Amino acid sequence: MAWCFNLGLHTASDDIPPDILARFDVEIQEHQVGKHTFRMLAVRNPDTLLEAVTPAEFVVDERLPYWAELWTSSIALAAHCLEQTGLNGKRVLDLGCGLGLTGISAARGGASVVFADYEEDALRFARANARINLGAADVARCEFRLVDWRELGALEAFDVVLGADIIYERCHFAPLLQSLHATVGHGGEAWLAEPDRVLGSDFFAFARADGWSVDIREKSVDRRGRTSRVRIAVIRNGVRP
């Protein structure tokens, strides 16, 4: 099934926190996902953030502002969340939340959501987007935490862990899988969306070898005049062999 996303752009400064307005050139993008409308606060031109990264900053963990882009995988995973009927009352972790679209979609389904990212700016935008797109009761069920999946700290177990396009480096395989062991609760699932890369297939094989079950589903996303295929892997809690 193809999901069509109609994009309209306008600005509404009263929706935007002053600290974000002071630092970023932003816009609010409207996305229609099925019967749901999302107004997502985003950087107008994410390339400007990329150009501002200095060589010294890049050397530290090759850190780039991936959070500023609304990835197609995020849109596909948001659509998947909206299709689910069992999220009400569940505890959900949006791991590497970026602008927050997938977590917001889960919150619309009644879930309590922890938005986690290792970039403070991502959390600023995700928090703003939650306030723009959710009612007060839903926002009250949202938390925002600065988290690196390689050093999870005291992050608890969840019913569902969401991850959109977080499988993009082979060196992340082991720490990402370790984070799923720590955060996917007994009987829980991880829903990981990725744009049909060979790297994604390799990660899913890595997860299966570690004792997880991996069920691959496909979703097509019509966006910016083209149709993209996204794979959504439903990864169920496993036991180390």
**Cα–Cα distance for residue pair 35/13, rounded to 1 Å:** 25
Q: List the one residue out of 45, 106, 110, 39 whose CA is nearest residue 77.
A: 106
Q: List the one residue out of 216, 236, 181 whose CA is nearest residue 80.
A: 216
**Cα–Cα distance for residue pair 16/68, rounded to 1 Å:** 15
Domain membership flag for residue 29: no
The count of structural domains within the chain is 1
Helix and strand totals (H; E) in the chain: 9, 11
- In the block, which residue shows the tokens 């200095």? 54
Tokens of 222: 């019509």
Domain membership flag for residue 47: no
Residue-wise pLDDT for 205-218, tens only, equals: 999 999 999 999 99
Residue-wise pLDDT for 132-147, tens only, equals: 999 999 999 999 999 8
- In the block, which residue shows the tokens 């400007």? 48
Contact between 127 and 144 (Cβ < 8 Å): yes
- pTM assigned to the model: 0.88
Contact between 84 and 109 (Cβ < 8 Å): yes
Burial class (CB in 10 A: 0-12, 13-18, 19+), 154: exposed
Q: List the one residue out of 154, 160, 166, 59 whose CA is nearest residue 103.
A: 160
> What per-residue confidence (pLDDT) applies to 110?
97
> What per-residue confidence (pLDDT) applies to 208?
95
Question: Phi then psi for 47, rounded to 5 degrees?
Answer: -60, -25
**Cα–Cα distance for residue pair 99/129, rounded to 1 Å:** 7
> What per-residue confidence (pLDDT) applies to 240?
47
Domain membership flag for residue 74: yes
Residue-wise pLDDT for 82-94, tens only, equals: 999 999 999 999 9
Question: What range defines the domain where residue 136 resides?
Answer: 67-236
Q: Which amino acid is at 76?
A: A
CA angle 27, 33, 35 (to 5 degrees): 120
Strands (E) located in the chain:
2-4, 7-10, 26-33, 36-43, 91-95, 112-117, 142-146, 158-164, 184-194, 213-223, 226-236
Tokens of 36: 């749901």
Say which CATH number the domain at 110 has.
Answer: 3.40.50.150
Domain membership flag for residue 106: yes
Residue-wise pLDDT for 42-83, tens only, equals: 998 887 776 665 555 545 555 667 788 899 999 999 999 999
- In the block, which residue shows the tokens 């005049």? 225
What is the share, in percent, of the chain residues with pLDDT greater than 90? Answer: 61
Domain membership flag for residue 138: yes
Domain membership flag for residue 28: no
